[in-house]
Chain A
Amino acid sequence: MFISLLAVIALGCIAWLGAASGFQYLIGVVLPYAAVLVFIGGFVWRIVDWAKSPVPFRIPTTAGQQKSLDWIKPARLDSPFTTAGTVGRMLLEVLLFRSLFRNTSVEIQKGPRVVYYSAKWLWLFALLFHYCFLLIFIRHFRFFLEPVPFALTAIEFVDGIMQIGVPRMFMSDVLVVAALGFLLARRLFSEKIRYISLANDYFPLFLLLGLVGSGIWMRYFAKVDIAAVKVLTMGLVTMNPVLPEGIGAAFFIHIFLLSCLLAYFPFSKLMHMGGVFLSPTRNLPNNTRAVRHVNPWNPPKKYRTYAEYEDEFRELMEEAGLPVDKTSEEAAAAE
Chain B
Amino acid sequence: MSTTRRQFLKIAGLAAFGLGTSSALDAADAVAKDMPGAKYEVGEKHLAAKRWAMVIDTRKLESREDFERIIHACHTVHNVPSIPNKQEIKWIWTDKYDRVFTDDMSQHLSPAVREKDYLLLCNHCENPPCVRVCPTKATFKRADGIVVMDYHRCIGCRFCMAGCPYGARSFNFGDPRPYLKDVNPAFPTRMRGVVEKCTFCSERLEVGLQPACVEASNGAILFGDLDDPNSPVRKALAENFSIRRKPSIGTQPGVYYIV
Contact = CB atoms under 8 A, between A and B. Distances in A.
Q: CB–CB under 8 A between A and B in the complex? A: yes
Interface of A: 1-2, 5-6, 9, 12-13, 16, 20, 163, 188-189, 191, 194, 217, 221-223, 248-250
A250 B30 CA distance: 11
Given A1-B8, A16-B22, A188-B5, A250 B15 contact: no
Given A9-B19, A12-B19, A16-B22, A221 B8 contact: no
Contact of A13 (B22, B26, B33): B22
Contacts of B12: 5
Interface residues of B, number: 18
A250 B19 contact: no
A2 B22 contact: no
Interface residue SS majority, chain B: helix
Contacts of A9: 15, 18-19
A250 B23 CA distance: 8
A222 B27 contact: yes
Given A9-B18, A9-B19, A188-B5, A16 B26 contact: yes
A194 B27 CA distance: 35
A221 B30 contact: yes
Interface string B125-158: 0000000000000000000000000001000000
Contacts, number: 41
A247 B11 CA distance: 31
B1 A5 contact: no
B112 interface: no
A1 B12 CA distance: 11
Contact of A5 (B4, B5, B15): B15
B7 interface: yes
Given A5-B15, A191-B1, A248-B30, A217 B23 contact: yes
B249 interface: no
Contacts of B22: 13, 16
Given A12-B19, A13-B22, A191-B1, A250 B27 contact: yes
